A and B are shown apart, each in its own frame.
Chain A
Amino acid sequence: MKQRVRYYDSVGSRAFDVLNVVFLTGLAVVTVLPLLYVLAGSFATESEISSRPFFLWPHKFVTDTYHYIFSTDTFVRALLTTVGVTAVGTVIQLLLTLTMAYPLAKKFLPGRALVLNLVIFTLVFSGGMIPTYLVVRDLGLLDSYWALVLPLAINPFYLIVVKSFFQELPEALEEAARIDGCNELNVFLRIVLPLSKPIIATFSLFYAVGIWNDYMSPLLYIDDSKKWTLQMIVRQLTAANADSANVLQQLETVTFPEQGLKFAVVVVATLPILFFYPFLQKHFAKGVLIGSVKE
C-alpha cells in the first residue's frame, strides 16, 4: 500500500489525477444538467422560461403546467394506459421468460439444444418490421393493448441470462426435493423461484422500463389516439412545430403555458424511471454483461 502511494506521487501522475477528477465530474454534471433544467423549467412560469437563459431553480415556483396536463383527458388516459400496459406486460414477460428459462437450464432434457439454438438464431436474424406487423395484424391485435405486450413477450438476451442463472443454482437442493416426491413443476415453483428473487427483481425492472419507454410498438400497432401511450403523447407534444394545445384537445379559450407544458410532460414520462433507478442500479450489472449490447 505504502509503496503504491509513493509510486503515484510523481508530478505527472498527480496532474493526471487532478485533470481526471475534473473531467469525469464535468462529464457527470453535463449528463444530468439537461434533466435538471427541464425539471426546473416545468415549475417555472412561461415568461421565466423564455426570458432566463438557463436556470436550475425557478424564481417563482408554480405548478400550473401540472394542473393543466392532469386536467386533460388525453394526458390522464395515456398515463393510465401506460401504467396498466406496463404492469400487465411485465408480469406476462416475466412469467414467459422464467418458465421457458427453467427447462432450458436442464442439460438432460431431450430437445433442449434444438430449442436453445432456435432462440439464439433470433438474435442474429429476424423477420423484421413488416412481417412481424403482418403477424400482429393477422392475429387481430391491431389497435389492441396486447400488441404492445405480446410481440415483445420474451427478450432472448434476458432469457439466456436467466437460463444461465438457473444453471448455476445448486443442483443438490432440487435433487432433494425430487426425492421427497416433488414433480418438476413443484421444484420450479417451490425451490427455484424463491431462490431467484434477485434476478426476478432485476428483470421485472428491465422489462417494465422496456414497455414504458417503447415508442415503436404503439407507432406501428396503435392507430386509435385514445389508446395512445405516454410516449406517443410526449412525441406529439414536443415534436418540432407541434401544436400542444390541439394535441391535448383542450378548449381554445383556455390559456395554457405552451413551453412549460412540454417540460412537464417530459418530467412525468421520465420520473417513474428515475424513481426506480436506484433499485435498478443495484441489480443491473448481472444482466448487463450479456444483455445490454444494443437495443
Chain B
Amino acid sequence: MATDLVPEVAQPAAGSPRPASTQRRKRRTPNFWRYRWLYLLLLPGLAYFVVFKYLPMYGLTIAFKDYVPFLGYSGSEWVGLKHFQELFTGPDFGRLLFNTLLLALLTILFVFPAPIVVALLLNELRVNVLKRSVQSLVYIPHFLSWTIVASLTYLLFSVDFGVIANWIHGLVGGQKTDYVAQADWFRPLIVLQLLWKQTGWGTIIYLAALAGVDSQLYEAARVDGAGRWRQFWHITLPAIRPTIVVMAILTSGHLMDSGFEQIWLMTTSLNRDVADVFDTFVYYIGITQGSFSYATAVGLFKGVVGVVLIFGSNFLAKRLGQRGLF
C-alpha cells in the first residue's frame, strides 16, 4: 500500500519545470546529497579502516627501506629486497619455517578433525538434555583468554606442585619432568591447549550443518534397509562435507599464523629453539630489538604466503568439485 503511494505523490503534473531538472541532475551524478545521512553514518567506521587497516598497509613499504623513525616513512632510504635477502639467507629462516610448519601440521592432524568427530558424536546423542549440557560445558574454554590457558597449564604441569605433572610422575615414576620448560614438551602442550580451548567451539559450525539435514533422507534410507552406520556414511557425512571443505580452506589460509599470544605465553628461555615462529619472531625483532624494517619484511613475507595459501586452497577445492569460498 505505502509503496504504491510513493510514485503517485512523487509524480508532479506534466509540463512543470521541476521534474526535468531533477532528472537531468540525477543522470549526471549519483545523488550523493540524498544519502548524506547514510554517508555520515558510514564515515567513522570508514575512518577506522583507513587509519588502522590501510595506513599499516602503506607502512609495509618500510619492508623495502631502512626505516629510521626520525626520517619517517617517505624520508627513509630505499634498499630494495635487502631485508628479504637477509631473512632467506639468515640463520633463523630454516628454524622459523620448520617450527611454524610443524605446528601447522600438528594442528591439521589433531586439532582440525577433533570438532568434526565430536560434532558427529553429539549428533548421534539421542538424549537432548545431555547433548545440550555437554555442549554448554565444552564451549566454555573458548571464552577464556590465552593468558588464562597458559596460567592453567603452568599450574597443572609445573614440576613442584602441578597436579597433572605429579599424577603422571606417580604413574610412571623415575625423574620428575618439567613439562612447561622442556623443549620436548612444547609442541604437545600447544596441541593440548588448542584441543582444550577450541574443540567444543569448533563443533558449532558442524552441528549447524548437521541440523540442516532433511530428516526425510534418513527415513527413506531406513525404509530401504540402511543401518545406522550406512545412514552415517551416506547421509550424515556427505551433508557436512562442504562445511569441512570451507573450514579446511580457512585453516590452510592460516597455516602461517601460529597464534601469537599462545606461542608467546608458552615460550621460555629453555624452549625458544622449538617455540620461535614467524609471529613471535616479528615481535622479538621489531618491538624488542627495534629493527622495524626487518621485522616488517618478515611479517610481509608471512602475509603474502597467507594470501597465496588461501587462494590456492580455494582453487584446489573448486578443482576437486567442491564449492569454494569465493
* Residue positions of A touching B, CB distance < 8 A: 3-4, 7-8, 10, 13, 16-17, 20-21, 23-25, 27-29, 31-32, 34-35, 37-38, 41, 49-50, 53-54, 95-97, 99-104, 106, 109-110, 115, 118-119, 122, 124-135, 139, 150-151, 153-154, 159, 172, 175-176, 179, 183-185, 188, 209, 212-216, 219-220, 231, 234-235, 237-240, 259, 262-263, 265-266, 269-270, 273-274, 277, 280-281, 284-285, 288-289, 292-294
Q: For window 1-34 of chain B, which residues contact chain A by CB distance below 8 Å? A: 2-3, 5-6, 30-32
Chain B contact residues, majority secondary structure: helix
B245 on the A face (CB < 8 A): no
A115/B307 contact (C-beta < 8 A), A35-B140, A127-B53 known: no
Q: Tell me which of B151, B251, B254, B279 has the highest count of chain A C-beta atoms within 10 A of its own C-beta.
A: B151
Give the residues in chain A near B151, CB-CB below 8 Å.
234-235, 237-238, 262, 265-266
A130/B295 contact (C-beta < 8 A), A24-B121, A231-B147 known: yes
A96 in contact with B44 (CB, 8 Å): yes
B257 on the A face (CB < 8 A): yes
Provide the bound-state CA to CA distance between A145 and B257, in Å. 27
Name the distance in Å between B189's Cβ and chain A's nearest Cβ. Answer: 12
Give the residues in chain B near A35, CB-CB below 8 Å.
140, 152
B87 on the A face (CB < 8 A): no
**How many residues of B are counted as interface, with CB atoms below 8 angstroms from the partner's CB atoms?**
102
Nearest 4 pairs between A and B by C-beta? A127-B56, A100-B45, A131-B59, A213-B145
Q: Per-position contact with A for B30-56: 1 when CB-CB < 8 Å, else 0?
A: 111001011111101110110111111
Provide the bound-state CA to CA distance between A23 and B299, in Å. 42
A25/B49 contact (C-beta < 8 A), A37-B163, A184-B37 known: no
Give the residues in chain B near A131, CB-CB below 8 Å.
55-60, 62, 296, 299
Provide the bound-state CA to CA distance between A150 and B137, in Å. 33
Number of A-B contacts (CB under 8 A): 284
Q: Which residue of A lies closest to B250 (CB)?
A: A293
Give the residues in chain B near A293, CB-CB below 8 Å.
247, 250
Q: Tell me which of B31, B138, B196, B268 has the highest count of chain A C-beta atoms within 10 A of its own C-beta.
A: B138
Q: Which residue of A lies closest to B251 (CB)?
A: A294
A24/B40 contact (C-beta < 8 A), A38-B152, A135-B59, A294-B250 known: no
Provide the bound-state CA to CA distance between A15 and B31, in Å. 69
Give the residues in chain A near B154, CB-CB below 8 Å.
238-240, 262
Name the distance in Å between A110's Cβ and chain B's nearest Cβ. Answer: 4
Flag the segment in B89-97, B124-132, B315-323 that touches A: B124-132
A34 in contact with B45 (CB, 8 Å): no
B106 on the A face (CB < 8 A): no
Name the distance in Å between B212's Cβ and chain A's nearest Cβ. Answer: 11
Give the residues in chain B near A128, CB-CB below 8 Å.
56, 60, 282, 296, 299-300, 302-303
A34 in contact with B228 (CB, 8 Å): no
Name the distance in Å between A288's Cβ and chain B's nearest Cβ. Answer: 5
B260 on the A face (CB < 8 A): yes
B286 in contact with A133 (CB, 8 Å): yes
Provide the bound-state CA to CA distance between A126 and B300, in Å. 9
B254 in contact with A294 (CB, 8 Å): yes
Name the distance in Å between A246's Cβ and chain B's nearest Cβ. Answer: 17
Name the distance in Å between A200's Cβ and chain B's nearest Cβ. Answer: 16
Give 30 CB contacts A-B under 8 Å: A13-B227, A20-B125, A24-B125, A29-B137, A31-B138, A53-B166, A96-B45, A99-B42, A100-B48, A109-B35, A110-B35, A115-B42, A129-B260, A130-B299, A131-B55, A131-B296, A133-B287, A153-B48, A153-B52, A175-B2, A215-B147, A239-B150, A240-B180, A262-B154, A266-B155, A274-B140, A284-B204, A289-B204, A292-B204, A292-B205
